[in-house]
Chains A and B, each alone.
Chain A
Amino acid sequence: MLKAIVQREILEYLKSSKFLIGLCLTVVLVGMSTFVNIGDYQQRRQDYLDATQNLTEDFGVKIFRKPQILSTLVQGRDRELGSQVDISYLRLPMQTSGYMGEFASQHHRYVSGFTSVDFAFVVRVVLSLMVIFLAYNSISEEMAQGTLRLVLANALPRGQLLFGKFIGGLFIILGCLTIAILVAVLVMVLHPAILLDRETSLRILGMWVISALYLGVFFTLSLLVSTIFNRPSIGLLVLLQVWIVVIVIYPNVSVILSRHLMVLPSREELEDRKRALFEPYERQYKETVEAFQKMVESNEIDLEPSRKNLEVNAQRTELYHRIDGEYSRQLTRQMLFARNIGLLSPSVLYDSVIQRLTGTDIREFDKFMEGVERHWYKDTERAKLMYTDYKAYQEYKMPEFTYTTQSVTESIVSTLPQWIVLFLLSAVFFAGAHAVFMKKSIR
């Protein structure tokens, strides 16, 4: 019996115009956005490769941030964050800049105002709406037409009917999602700039699972609403109001709330903190730098003042970076606070997981900056050798810049609470739908 219900549901969905319109819109948007995003990724990757080869620094080191391959499907923060960091014993910034450097680059200015359209966007906005449209009248329509009474007049348990509808709907939704992701993968595979390895394929699989969980929340919610309201149009309106609040309004409000509830120190405060931290070393710093300047002006090369000058400057950079590092952590805390406020919205949960899976979130950026800090220590040690052991300095080979990236498993484990919450939301909504349906009067 269950099989018959599932088959009927699937057939009904497949015949409906809403399914066809939703699927066409999804396929066109996913295909187009992936194609356009690949072009953007290709340009950024080429720039990264060229910069690594050609943009060298006489003084200090330039470190470049590699674009993430899966930013073609989930742009996240990958494009808007900068591409390079200039470090030396005199400077260790807490933020990346564009290739033109900290002051000349305005990479973020001209791309602001246009958010990305990518696979994640299509799932978050278009497919979630389509799911609502498919399921808003699952029970209420049958109730309104009187077929529910007829169906339940047979020896069919209510639970089985609901479960059949659930399985049938889920099959269609997962089918749509699979088609969408296959279109995206096909566009990627056919593009010469993209090479999908095993790790990337696993991440795409993870994206499919989390997207399915996310859509499952809207599907079960639609089932619940459909069992509560007898009139399908009322159910649809309720669901649309929920959708607009959960997808459009609440995530933005959570960012605003976080900004105003967790206040950040001003630039002036940060400067004051830096001055206070460096105060005990200020006198020694001034004396050393003055001695070094005198040496430069006198044109007499002496290693000792040069070494000391490097050491005091490196010490100052390190101390200043402590304040900057703490400030950077505060920025992360504020961002996480916004995310935690927004946890009531499945779209915030979905975004945080999918961006982590694709390596386009702030965690990836923070790890990159931690790598930059480690690299700075190595570079400073190397610079010191210039005045203590010149031969060793010449022989010293700077290790390649690396930072720790998360594997697929680590990404999943670190976002496990979000996965669980999404699953629980689906379970609670389905249980709610079941409970309401069991007690529902079908007269």
Chain B
Amino acid sequence: MITIIKREILEHLQSLQFVILIVLSILLFSTNGWVTVKKHHERMTRYSDAVTQVAREPSTVQTSLFMHPNPLVLLADGGSEYQPPGYTLGPKGKLNTMPAGPENFKMPAGPELDWAFIIKVVFSLYVLLLAFRGISGEKEAGTLRLVLSYALQRSKLLMSKYISILLTVAIPLVLGALVSLCIVSIFIPEAFSLSIVPRIGLMILLAFFYLSIFAFLGLFVSSTVSRSSVVLLILLAAWILLVVVVPNVSGILSNKLAHVPSEYQTAARVSPILQEQVWGRIDKVKERVKRGELTTEEAIKKETDQAFEEGQEVVRNHYAVYENAMKRRADVARNLSRLSPTALFQYASESLADTGPGCEGRFLEDAKTYSATYDSYVLQKVGRLVGTSYWSFSTDIRLDGKNIFITSPSPQEYQGDKSDFPRFAESAPDLARNMQETFLDLAGLSLWNLISAAMAFWAIWRCDVR
């Protein structure tokens, strides 16, 4: 078996595919390192400036919480450009996302050149290119009959081919990864600590776990079909479906499966809700004033404050319902795309790198914890908690022939010393938790490995070597 593995590796190393893969790998991984360095520098500068600004100008009206830039976008970017740089936090836990989006919205949206992209697209294709002639090539050349005439089990032949493919791919993969890590560690040494070493190691293991599926698939088709060119055609069709079509088409399919009222429908309801929930309540206060139930300015303002707060809460919930429905739709899209091993690998990589939606979820938990501290600080300084709002309303109420100017309540700025302003601290990424998040994706990848391996073994046992 070892002899076959050695022979196979030697053949692969001499092949054109391998040479090109080495060159591509070094080019792509070094570009990845270079891009990460630039991106991290820019994000760190923005983050430091923003955090300094918050510390310099603490506010009881609204504060800003920023996400610490993660250097592990190197492994899987996780759509970091579309993630908000942070959230604004007002009293009563009112969290609002900061504007997010790519720096240049006119630029075509392409995938980030991270490790996950290079492995899931380029390496998976090259594994197929190395595997497609594995059995069919030997059959065409007549050597398969010869090899199997020795006391060599077919399963051992298949395993040897499989191991040799993965070992061959390991060379450019590890080499490329080292190049990328060298660039990043030289230019941003502060971003690298011992804590990220296990994540990088796990990422490499995950890559092999993913590529193993394609090696088995390649050998399966190669054992089933006799002509190498047809094998390659079938494998490329499968590659297009698994790597390109399924992960992407699930986005638009989820629109059909997870019904969300369109953004227009949500927007169109805002005005009636404001009318009904805010002005309807204010009208009731006005009627009570007319009936003489409220006789002082203080009593009126107390009632209108409550009416504004309650009304605005309903509108906020209306927005939240839409936002949650959109998140659910995105989850449906992600779950649909999990039919493809490529999507499973992508999501597992994001969890390992602590990027993507999981990372934002952790940040939001921290923000919610901090909001309690912030609220008690505001309460201690200002004496009352008033939530921030998108809107401000004003009206007049007539009491005893005099107009009382009513405005919706807004938080107050404390004018005294704010040196004891509580600082927001983001919790450190937890590898155990991230591993838990990858469980579903790892299970999916295991299933894919199991099925493709079973198919490959079944195909080689039934293969007609004549």
Q: Which residues of A contact B (CB under 8 A)?
A: 17-18, 21-22, 25, 29, 32-33, 36-37, 39-40, 43-44, 47-48, 50-51, 54-55, 77, 80-81, 83, 95, 98-101, 103-117, 125-126, 129, 133, 137, 232-234, 236-238, 240-241, 244-245, 248-249, 251-253, 255-256, 258-260, 264, 331-332, 334-335, 338, 351, 362, 365
Instruction: Determine if A237 and B17 form an interchain contact, defined as CB atoms under 8 angstroms apart.
Output: yes
Instruction: Determine if B266 and A111 form an interchain contact, defined as CB atoms under 8 angstroms apart.
Output: no
Instruction: Determine if B100 and A43 form an interchain contact, defined as CB atoms under 8 angstroms apart.
Output: no
Complex Cα distance, B159 from A51, in Å, reads 61
Instruction: Determine if A249 and B237 form an interchain contact, defined as CB atoms under 8 angstroms apart.
Output: no
Complex Cα distance, B122 from A59, in Å, reads 53
A-B contact pairs, 15 of them (CB 8 A): A18-B229, A39-B255, A51-B264, A99-B263, A105-B263, A113-B251, A114-B337, A125-B240, A133-B236, A245-B24, A253-B113, A331-B105, A334-B104, A334-B106, A351-B108
Instruction: Determine if A256 and B35 form an interchain contact, defined as CB atoms under 8 angstroms apart.
Output: yes
Instruction: Determine if B129 and A126 form an interchain contact, defined as CB atoms under 8 angstroms apart.
Output: no
Expressed in whole angstroms, the minimum distance between the Cβ of B187 and any Cβ of chain A is: 14
Q: Does B230 make an interface contact (CB < 8 A)?
A: yes
Q: Does B256 make an interface contact (CB < 8 A)?
A: yes
Instruction: Determine if A129 and B236 form an interchain contact, defined as CB atoms under 8 angstroms apart.
Output: yes
Expressed in whole angstroms, the minimum distance between the Cβ of A364 and any Cβ of chain B is: 11
Complex Cα distance, B285 from A354, in Å, reads 60
Task: Report which of B229, B234, B249 forms a contact with A137, defined as CB distance below 8 A.
Answer: B229
Nearest chain A residue, comparing its CB with the CB of B21: A241
Q: Does B107 make an interface contact (CB < 8 A)?
A: yes
Instruction: Determine if A81 and B17 form an interchain contact, defined as CB atoms under 8 angstroms apart.
Output: no
Complex Cα distance, B264 from A410, in Å, reads 33
Instruction: Beyond A55-B267, A100-B266, list 20 extra A-B contacts (CB 8 Å).
Output: A18-B230, A21-B233, A21-B237, A33-B249, A51-B264, A51-B267, A81-B105, A100-B270, A113-B251, A117-B248, A125-B240, A249-B28, A256-B113, A258-B107, A259-B104, A260-B35, A264-B104, A334-B104, A334-B106, A351-B108
Q: Mark B92-123, 1 if CB is under 8 A from A, else 0.
A: 00001101110111111111010000000110
Nearest chain B residue, comparing its CB with the CB of A365: B106
Interface size class of B (residues with CB under 8 A): 35 or more
Total cross-chain contacts (CB, 8 A): 182
Expressed in whole angstroms, the minimum distance between the Cβ of B442 and any Cβ of chain A is: 20
Question: In the assembled complex, which residues on chain A have CB atoms less than 8 Å from the CB atom of B265?
Answer: 47
Question: In the assembled complex, which residues on chain A have CB atoms less than 8 Å from the CB atom of B390?
Answer: 103-104
Complex Cα distance, B422 from A157, in Å, reads 87
Instruction: Determine if A249 and B24 form an interchain contact, defined as CB atoms under 8 angstroms apart.
Output: yes
Given contacts A117-B249, A258-B107, contact A110 B113 (CB under 8 A): no
Tell me what chain B mostly uses at the interface: helix, strand, loop, or mixed. helix
Question: In the assembled complex, which residues on chain A have CB atoms less than 8 Å from the CB atom of B249?
Answer: 32-33, 36, 117
Closest 8 CB pairs of A and B: A114-B251, A47-B264, A99-B267, A112-B82, A99-B264, A335-B106, A252-B110, A99-B263
Complex Cα distance, B227 from A17, in Å, reads 11
Instruction: Determine if A248 and B122 form an interchain contact, defined as CB atoms under 8 angstroms apart.
Output: yes
Complex Cα distance, B234 from A347, in Å, reads 23
Expressed in whole angstroms, the minimum distance between the Cβ of B278 and any Cβ of chain A is: 15
Instruction: Determine if B100 and A338 form an interchain contact, defined as CB atoms under 8 angstroms apart.
Output: no
Stretch at the interface among B211-219, B324-332, B423-431: B324-332
Complex Cα distance, B232 from A248, in Å, reads 18
Expressed in whole angstroms, the minimum distance between the Cβ of B305 and any Cβ of chain A is: 21
Complex Cα distance, B284 from A126, in Å, reads 64
Question: In the assembled complex, which residues on chain B have CB atoms less than 8 Å from the CB atom of A80?
Answer: 109
Question: Which positions 212-257 of chain B face chain A at CB distance < 8 Å?
Answer: 228-230, 232-234, 236-237, 240, 244-245, 247-253, 255-256
Nearest chain B residue, comparing its CB with the CB of A98: B263
Q: Does B16 make an interface contact (CB < 8 A)?
A: yes
Q: Does B421 make an interface contact (CB < 8 A)?
A: no
Complex Cα distance, B121 from A55, in Å, reads 44
Task: Report which of A109, A115, A232, A259 forms a contact with B109, defined as CB distance below 8 A.
Answer: A115
Instruction: Determine if B129 and A17 form an interchain contact, defined as CB atoms under 8 angstroms apart.
Output: no
Complex Cα distance, B121 from A245, in Å, reads 11
Instruction: Determine if A106 and B240 form an interchain contact, defined as CB atoms under 8 angstroms apart.
Output: no
Expressed in whole angstroms, the minimum distance between the Cβ of A130 and any Cβ of chain B is: 9
Instruction: Determine if A114 and B263 form an interchain contact, defined as CB atoms under 8 angstroms apart.
Output: no
Task: Report which of B107, B234, B236 forms a contact with A335, defined as CB distance below 8 A.
Answer: B107
Complex Cα distance, B20 from A129, in Å, reads 19
Q: Does B208 make an interface contact (CB < 8 A)?
A: no
Question: In the assembled complex, which residues on chain B have CB atoms less than 8 Å from the CB atom of A258?
Answer: 107
Instruction: Determine if A110 and B248 form an interchain contact, defined as CB atoms under 8 angstroms apart.
Output: no
Complex Cα distance, B110 from A424, in Å, reads 27
Complex Cα distance, B263 from A95, in Å, reads 17
Q: Does B262 make an interface contact (CB < 8 A)?
A: yes
Instruction: Determine if A117 and B245 form an interchain contact, defined as CB atoms under 8 angstroms apart.
Output: yes
Instruction: Determine if B107 and A255 form an interchain contact, defined as CB atoms under 8 angstroms apart.
Output: yes
Q: Does B169 make an interface contact (CB < 8 A)?
A: no
Complex Cα distance, B121 from A244, in Å, reads 9
Question: In the assembled complex, which residues on chain A have CB atoms less than 8 Å from the CB atom of B82?
Answer: 108-109, 112-113
Expressed in whole angstroms, the minimum distance between the Cβ of A346 and any Cβ of chain B is: 16
Expressed in whole angstroms, the minimum distance between the Cβ of B227 and any Cβ of chain A is: 9
Task: Report which of A47, A95, A103, A255 forms a contact with B105, defined as CB distance below 8 A.
Answer: A95
- Which of B79, B103, B107, B122 is packed against the most chain A CB atoms within 10 Å? B107
Complex Cα distance, B442 from A221, in Å, reads 41
Complex Cα distance, B82 from A107, in Å, reads 11
Instruction: Determine if A100 and B263 form an interchain contact, defined as CB atoms under 8 angstroms apart.
Output: yes
Question: In the assembled complex, which residues on chain A have CB atoms less than 8 Å from the CB atom of B330?
Answer: 110
Expressed in whole angstroms, the minimum distance between the Cβ of A240 and any Cβ of chain B is: 7
Instruction: Determine if B108 and A335 form an interchain contact, defined as CB atoms under 8 angstroms apart.
Output: yes
Complex Cα distance, B111 from A55, in Å, reads 35
Complex Cα distance, B323 from A106, in Å, reads 8
Expressed in whole angstroms, the minimum distance between the Cβ of B388 and any Cβ of chain A is: 12
Instruction: Determine if B263 and A244 form an interchain contact, defined as CB atoms under 8 angstroms apart.
Output: no
Expressed in whole angstroms, the minimum distance between the Cβ of B359 and any Cβ of chain A is: 14
Complex Cα distance, B108 from A114, in Å, reads 13
Task: Report which of A117, A133, A232, A256 forms a contact with B252, defined as CB distance below 8 A.
Answer: A117
Instruction: Determine if B31 and A253 form an interchain contact, defined as CB atoms under 8 angstroms apart.
Output: yes
Question: In the assembled complex, which residues on chain A have CB atoms less than 8 Å from the CB atom of B237?
Answer: 21-22, 25
Question: In the assembled complex, which residues on chain A have CB atoms less than 8 Å from the CB atom of B234?
Answer: 21
Expressed in whole angstroms, the minimum distance between the Cβ of B288 and any Cβ of chain A is: 25
Complex Cα distance, B270 from A54, in Å, reads 12
Question: In the assembled complex, which residues on chain A have CB atoms less than 8 Å from the CB atom of B31?
Answer: 253, 256
Task: Report which of A37, A54, A252, A334 forms a contact with B268, defined as CB distance below 8 A.
Answer: A54
Question: Which positions 306-339 of chain B face chain A at CB distance < 8 Å?
Answer: 319, 322-323, 326-327, 329-330, 333, 337
Instruction: Determine if B255 and A114 form an interchain contact, defined as CB atoms under 8 angstroms apart.
Output: no
Complex Cα distance, B109 from A109, in Å, reads 12
Expressed in whole angstroms, the minimum distance between the Cβ of B273 and any Cβ of chain A is: 13
Task: Report which of B229, B264, B327 forms a contact with A236, defined as CB distance below 8 A.
Answer: B229
Expressed in whole angstroms, the minimum distance between the Cβ of A208 and any Cβ of chain B is: 22
Instruction: Determine if A111 and B107 form an interchain contact, defined as CB atoms under 8 angstroms apart.
Output: no
Instruction: Determine if B233 and A103 form an interchain contact, defined as CB atoms under 8 angstroms apart.
Output: no
Q: Mark B111-139, 1 if CB is under 8 A from A, else 0.
A: 10100000001100100010001000000
Question: In the assembled complex, which residues on chain B have CB atoms less than 8 Å from the CB atom of A17?
Answer: 230, 233
Complex Cα distance, B101 from A105, in Å, reads 12
Q: Does B38 make an interface contact (CB < 8 A)?
A: yes
Complex Cα distance, B104 from A17, in Å, reads 44
Question: In the assembled complex, which residues on chain B have CB atoms less than 8 Å from the CB atom of A47?
Answer: 262-265
Question: In the assembled complex, which residues on chain A have CB atoms less than 8 Å from the CB atom of B108?
Answer: 77, 251, 255, 335, 338, 351
Complex Cα distance, B110 from A112, in Å, reads 10
Question: In the assembled complex, which residues on chain B have CB atoms less than 8 Å from the CB atom of A44?
Answer: 262
Complex Cα distance, B106 from A126, in Å, reads 26
Given contacts A18-B233, A39-B256, A260-B38, contact A233 B228 (CB under 8 A): yes
Question: In the assembled complex, which residues on chain B have CB atoms less than 8 Å from the CB atom of A51?
Answer: 264, 267-268
Instruction: Determine if A240 and B97 form an interchain contact, defined as CB atoms under 8 angstroms apart.
Output: no
Task: Report which of B129, B240, B256, B263 forms a contact with A237, defined as CB distance below 8 A.
Answer: B129
Instruction: Determine if A116 and B266 form an interchain contact, defined as CB atoms under 8 angstroms apart.
Output: no
Instruction: Determine if B253 and A36 form an interchain contact, defined as CB atoms under 8 angstroms apart.
Output: yes
Instruction: Determine if B107 and A334 form an interchain contact, defined as CB atoms under 8 angstroms apart.
Output: yes
Complex Cα distance, B262 from A334, in Å, reads 32
Instruction: Determine if A331 and B106 form an interchain contact, defined as CB atoms under 8 angstroms apart.
Output: yes
Complex Cα distance, B122 from A252, in Å, reads 13
